[in-house]
Amino acid sequence: MTIDLTVSDEVRALAPGFTHVVIEARGLVNGPSTDATAALLDDAARRLAERLGGRAPHEDPHMAAWRAAYTAFGAKPSRTRNSAEALARRALADGGLPRINALVDLYNAISVAHLIPVGGEDLDLIKGGMRLVRATGEEDFVMAAAGERTVEHPEAGEVVWCDDEGVTCRRWNWRQGPRTRLTEESVNAIFLLEGMGPDAGLEAAGAELAELLEKVSPGAQVAVG
């Protein structure tokens, strides 16, 4: 791995069961969503429905563990859902999963199929390393509203991912900022798979995502760590 990724002691104390798998990929080919990536999303929704067996996403033990972690830092998990639960709800709704671009479709499919939070960032837009910390409340979180740049600040104690320039994702994995988001022009990326507890299934999900990345971008350098 060429990027330095750290989890603070304060976050580990808050959620001792937190685990993660990182995939660093270089030389990727991205572009608009395709029939193939749309099919992956549809298949992920089918796999999710089979896993849940009629239950709501938040009733899954892994999602319950994430809700407990969110509650621990002061978030209301029924209003501020982790990214996997939010995507799962969309996957089961009539409208289905959104089609964003090829790379985002891939990691969204893995997130839904395995019911784990997965995020992707453009490595060329990350400033320095990435850190998972409890916010002071003074960090910048840059958003875009109606085409205008706006700056928000996380709440003190909130769990956030950040780099040297500011927050890249608020409330652990609830809302990603646009500054480091994967676009159709992205060629180098880092994918972060996050879990709570030893049975989250991150290794299998990471292996499946790495295989998909190599399939859609032959010749890409993909490292799982």
Q: Is the separation of the CB atoms in 161 and 168 below 8 Å? A: yes
The encoded tokens of residue 171 equal 């409330």
Strands 5-7 and 130-134: parallel
Closest CA relative to residue 211, chosen from 27, 83, 23, 84: 23
Is pLDDT of 147 > 80?
Answer: no
Mind listing the pLDDT tens digit for each residue in 158-198? 999 999 999 999 999 999 999 999 999 999 999 999 999 98
Model confidence band, residue 125 (pLDDT cutoffs 50, 70, 90): very high
Mind listing the pLDDT tens digit for each residue in 109-119? 999 999 999 99
Is pLDDT of 1 > 80?
Answer: no
Calculate the alpha carbon distances from 82 to 12, 30, 88, 164 in Å: 18, 26, 10, 24
Is pLDDT of 201 > 90?
Answer: yes
Task: Output the pLDDT for position 145.
Answer: 77
Q: What angle do CA 13, 130, 84 make, to 5 degrees?
A: 70
Task: Output the pLDDT for position 144.
Answer: 84
Calculate mean pLDDT across residues 81-89: 98
| Burial category of 138 from C-beta neighbours within 10 Å (exposed 0-12, middle 13-18, buried 19 and up) | exposed
Cα–Cα distance between 126 and 110 in angstroms, integer? 23
The encoded tokens of residue 64 equal 């319950």
Strands 167-170 and 175-176: antiparallel
Calculate mean pLDDT across residues 48-72: 97
Taking the whole predicted model, whether its pTM rises above 0.75 is answered as yes
Task: Output the pLDDT for position 148.
Answer: 84
AA identity, residue 188: N
Alpha helices in the chain (DSSP H): 9-14, 35-52, 61-72, 83-92, 102-114, 202-216
The encoded tokens of residue 220 equal 């890409």
% of the chain residues with pLDDT over 90: 95
